Amino acid sequence: MRAFRVAYDGREFAGFQRQPRASTVEGTLLEALAEHGHLQRGDGPTHATPSRYAAAGRTDAGVSAVAQTVSFEAPEWLTPRAFNGQLPGSIRVWAAADVPERFHATHDAIRRTYRYFLYAPRDRTPSSSTERGHDRERTGLTVDDDRVYDALARLSGTHDVRNLTSDDEGTERRIRATATRKGAFLVIEVSAGGFPRAFVRRLVRLVRMVGTGTAEPSFVDRVLDPEPLPGDQGVGPAPPEPLVLWDVKYEDVSFAVDDEAATSALDAFGERYRTARRSAAVTDAILGRIEDRVCE
């Protein structure tokens, strides 16, 4: 048995879990194994899986990962670098571990951690004529960091979070939630043994509501009350694209980084980063040109 660490840019996939007539991370991994001759090809969602196959989590459409974990009975030759030979650049396997036969990537995870990159630039007063009311670093409501930290402190601990998920049972969780300011972003980190459906994204939406002043801190306490919220007070999920499955911890499992595979991942995601920066520069130039004409 082997377990593999998988990083992926989820923005171009319809989620992790395979599904008919849609491009998914899991479907792409299984197709790669079929190309390697390690499993029989199936038809659509019935595509065969390796013996004892399991995955740590089922991320939603648009959600990315750096430490998704899949485990199955793998041949010795299937190293991370070999795995990558049949994968697109948006998915890279970068580490692996030998695990006991009884290992299960889903059930044996003792802690999962997500990070959400919340765009929340600090408010600032324009200092020159070039810093106008159209300033794109000031779009949206200002987020107060202290209010965010207070909301996360209230959310940390053991709670029934049924008002932050569509799940009907298994909603009690012990949660650790923190945030770190990194430039224009608040990086919200949430850890627990497991997560109900869309919980982290709803938590982020709730925290942003408090941070912008559209909800009072006491609303967090009401949300954590097991009594169902009225429909008009429900908290919907934040957008999926800024969310990343950051880590999955297992007891007594040590992953060895495959240097060649990790270099391949750095190259692939580095190119995606440069492409995004170029696109952002073009968008910024277009915005600036229109602002100049509006303010002439």
Using CA atoms, how far residue 72 sits from 47, 62, 101, 271, in Å, is 15, 25, 9, 30
Rounded-to-integer distance, Cα 67 and Cα 248, Å: 6
pLDDT value for 133: 44
pLDDT value for 134: 46
pLDDT value for 128: 41
Percent of the chain with pLDDT over 70: 91
Q: Is the dihedral of CA 123, 129, 135, 137 positive or negative?
A: negative
- Mean pLDDT for all residues in the chain: 90
Read off the pLDDT of residues 56-102 as tens digits, 9 standing for 90 and up: 999 999 999 999 999 999 999 999 999 999 999 999 999 999 999 99
Catalytic residue among 9, 60, 247, 258: 60
Mean predicted confidence (pLDDT) in 229-247: 92
Integer distance in angstroms from the first to the last C-alpha of the chain?
67
Rounded-to-integer distance, Cα 135 and Cα 126, Å: 8
60 is a catalytic site residue:
yes
> Which residue reads 């989820």 in tokens?
10
pLDDT band at 37 (very low <50, low <70, confident <90, very high): confident
Angle at which helices 199-212 and 145-155 cross, to 10°: 140
Residue 285 has pLDDT above 80, yes or no: yes
pLDDT value for 273: 95
pTM: 0.90
Residue 139 has pLDDT above 60, yes or no: no
pLDDT value for 168: 83
Lowest mean pLDDT among 39-48, 108-117, 183-192, 206-215: 39-48
